[in-house]
Amino acid sequence: MIAYRQRLACKTIHFIEVNHDKVARTQQHFFAAWSVLSEINISKQRIVLCHYALRVWPRHAQGAWHLYGHSHGNLPDDSRSLSIDVGVDTHAFRPWHFGELQAVMNGENCGREAKPI
């Protein structure tokens, strides 16, 4: 994990703890934040980060996005929701760029096979 972290140019990385992170907990100092659920803002967009898909999340009624993993792209699509599985296995094994997420949340496909959930 640390080798991958050191390769990333971005210095502000929020680590969202998942169901297999017992050993990784000792490396929390390499990240800006470490939590089960985190709320962040990027370009005035409120984003809720959680490993698990949620049906509702903080500020969802005010347009906050929800980004999650865990399900490996296996949940049914709901194009009306502002929630998306951002696991690398849903995106050619690479991280999502904010602009790509913005396009998907605006209803554009952006090279993604599935729509947001």
The answer, yes or no, to whether residue 88 has pLDDT greater than 50, is yes
**DSSP-derived 3-state class of residue 66:** strand
The answer, yes or no, to whether residue 111 has pLDDT greater than 60, is no
- Tell me the domains of the chain and their CATH numbers: 2-105 (3.60.21.10)
User: Residue 1: which residues within 8 A CB-CB, separation 6 or more?
Assistant: 24, 27
> What letter does residue 40 receive in the DSSP assignment?
E
Instruction: Give the model confidence (pLDDT) of 24-77 as tens digits.
Output: 777 777 788 788 898 999 999 999 999 899 999 999 999 999 999 887 777 876
C-alpha 59 chain-centroid distance: 16
Question: What pLDDT score does 98 carry?
Answer: 92
Higher-confidence position of 43 and 88: 43
Count helices and strands in the chain by DSSP H and E runs: 2, 6
Question: What pLDDT score does 114 carry?
Answer: 44
pTM of the model: 0.76
Establish how many alpha carbons lie within 13 A of residue 27's alpha carbon, considering only the half-sphere containing its beta carbon: 16
